[in-house]
A and B are shown apart, each in its own frame.
Chain A
Amino acid sequence: MKRKIPLGICLIMGIMMIIQFFIPHPVSLGFASTIYKWVIVLMAFALVLAIGNLIRHHTLKIRKRKEDWPYSIVTLFGMTAMAVIGLIWGVDPDSLYQRIFLNILAPLGGTMFALLAYYMASAAYRAFRARSLEATLLLISAFIVMIGFMPFGQYVHTRFPAFAEWVMQVPNMASQRGILLGVAFGSIATALKIILGIERSWLGGKE
């Protein structure tokens, strides 16, 4: 029962969602829309669980005075402050919540990802070696795209940006399509295995 009920729910939900896609009747469309709302609610509950784990992790770290524990206070304070501000004073465009988003969250997030530019460049410098034909092709196409997509490309040759665009639109598109098709078939097969109960690893545990 502990495994059969969840498997049965998974099977019913999977089949219902496939059926509703092929029968665009108002009843099936209404059903899909209601279920979608339920799923949004379930996602929110999953987030509550995740937030609970985060709080637990940082509270334990503070209590046991583990390494870097003072930063856990920063995390907990940041989370509580943002949540309280958004829940009490609202999320209007000129609210404090939006100001924090624009002036704290956006700069932090943007800089974190910008930092990756340095590390990708340094990793590429160390890893990119033209040892074989394949590695050379990878290296050349990366350089063509990088140089072609910056203003400097225009000075290398007037048609260089157009060539970079061609690399993106033709050979890159061909390989991406091949990979996408493979991924799509793999995902469909996995989804079928899950619905039919062949793939059960999501149940976890032995019982």
Chain B
Amino acid sequence: MSSDPWIWVGALLTLMIFSFLYKDNPFYKFGEHLFVGVANGYYIVFYWHNSLRPNLFEPLGAGEFIYLVPLLLGLMYFTRFIPKVSWLVRIPIGFMIGWGAGLSIPALFQAEVLRQLEGTVVAPSSFTNPMSGIWSLIILVGVICTLIYFFFSKEHKGILGHTSRIGIIFIMIGFGASFGYTVMARVSLLIGRIQFLLGPWLGLID
């Protein structure tokens, strides 16, 4: 059994959270509330050291007064507590939303649309290995049918009905696979916690 107090803290907190499997209880609530508090404290420090200090206070200290603009914009967030000027909170929000929307259009087009289409296109070179060529064809059919399934401007009848039916088959296989993959990711986290309890804490496994 470990003699390191930190290992004991980690193990006891792990058990507190696992106690929820029995039912909601004070130990779980303690762990849950501690998690929320410590996580917020972590982000306060993280944002201070990685955002505010290097990107605002250090440049301002060095005489770069252009950084008064983000300071002013940031302070505008707090105007929401002053009813007469509460509309000013829309200015930093508008700035952030405009930035995000403007940046996302070309980025999405490049990363999601063009790259995905590039990966879907079947060229003669796809058949260098006949099997991978067939898989590429299946992917092409799957992508087209999935897109058709989500095309609601025309009633799904006739050829559109058949293709959207194939589309839903691909979608269901995809949902199932994604679900299975997510479960496996959670199970690997569970294994990690059990290994921690049995290894570093209890010393039953190496």
Binding site for B on A (CB under 8 A): 2-3, 5-7, 9-18, 21-22, 34-35, 37-49, 51, 54, 68, 71-72, 74-83, 85-87, 91, 97, 99-118, 120-121, 124, 133-135, 137-146, 149-150, 166-185, 187-188, 190-192, 194-195, 202-205, 207
Contact = CB atoms under 8 A, between A and B. Distances in A.
A42 B105 contact: no
B44 A105 contact: no
Contact of A111 (B17, B73, B74, B149): B17
A38 B172 contact: no
A184 to B, nearest CB: 4
24 contacts: A35-B99, A38-B55, A39-B95, A40-B51, A47-B43, A51-B44, A75-B33, A77-B37, A86-B41, A108-B31, A110-B189, A112-B17, A115-B20, A141-B180, A150-B184, A168-B181, A170-B135, A171-B138, A174-B174, A177-B116, A179-B174, A181-B117, A191-B102, A192-B105
A138 B182 CA distance: 14
B101 A195 contact: yes
A178 B142 contact: yes
Contacts of A82: 37-38, 40-42, 44-45
B21 to A, nearest CB: 6
B149 to A, nearest CB: 8
Given A21-B106, A49-B77, A195-B98, A79 B192 contact: no
Interface of B: 6-7, 9-11, 13-14, 17-18, 20-21, 29-49, 51-52, 55-56, 66-67, 69-71, 73-75, 77-78, 80, 87, 90-109, 112-113, 116-117, 119-120, 135, 138-147, 149-150, 167-184, 186-187, 189-190, 192-193, 196
Contacts of A121: 183
B176 A145 contact: yes
B11 to A, nearest CB: 8
A192 to B, nearest CB: 7
A46 B180 CA distance: 36
A82 B41 CA distance: 5
B146 A49 contact: no
Contacts, number: 393
Nearest to B30: A74
Given A38-B69, A192-B105, A111 B145 contact: no
Given A115-B18, A149-B184, A100 B98 contact: no
Contact of A191 (B31, B47, B101): B101
A85 B44 CA distance: 11
Given A74-B33, A174-B146, A117 B173 contact: no
B33 A78 contact: yes
A106 B92 CA distance: 33
Contact of B169 (A40, A134, A145): A134
A145 B45 contact: no
A146 B37 contact: no
B17 A141 contact: no
A193 to B, nearest CB: 9
Given A97-B45, A109-B35, A188-B104, 14 more contacts: A7-B94, A40-B55, A41-B70, A42-B92, A75-B34, A82-B37, A114-B186, A115-B18, A117-B187, A121-B183, A134-B168, A137-B176, A191-B101, A192-B105
